[in-house]
Amino acid sequence: MTSQNQTVQQQGTHHWVITVELPGRAMQTLYGTYTPPAGATRHDVFLAIKNDLAQQSPEMARANVVFFALELNQL
C-alpha cells in the first residue's frame, strides 16, 4: 500500500445536528462539527450553534428547536 499526502479538512471534536421550525412556514435541518472552548457546557454549545444559525439566516433566529444532538466526533 502506498501513502499519499492528502489535504484533510480539519473537523471539530463534536458533531452536531439541529432542526428548527417556523410553524407553518419553514423547517431546516443543519449539521456540522464544533470544538468548544475549555470549560464549555452542552448549553453553551447549543447557544453558540443557535446564534450562528441566526446570523446566517436571520429569519430563523426565533425558530423553534425541534431536535438537537451533540456527540463526540469519533468512531
* pLDDT above 90 as % of the chain: 85
Q: What are phi and psi of 47, to 5 degrees?
A: -65, -40
Going residue by residue through the chain, which has 75 residues, state the pLDDT in tens, using 9 for 90 and above: 444 555 557 899 999 999 999 999 999 999 999 999 999 999 999 999 999 999 999 999 999 999 999 999 998
Sign of the CA dihedral running 72, 41, 53, 19: positive
| Residue 10, pLDDT score | 87
* pLDDT above 70 as % of the chain: 88
Best CA proximity match to 62, nearest among 73, 72, 70, 51: 51
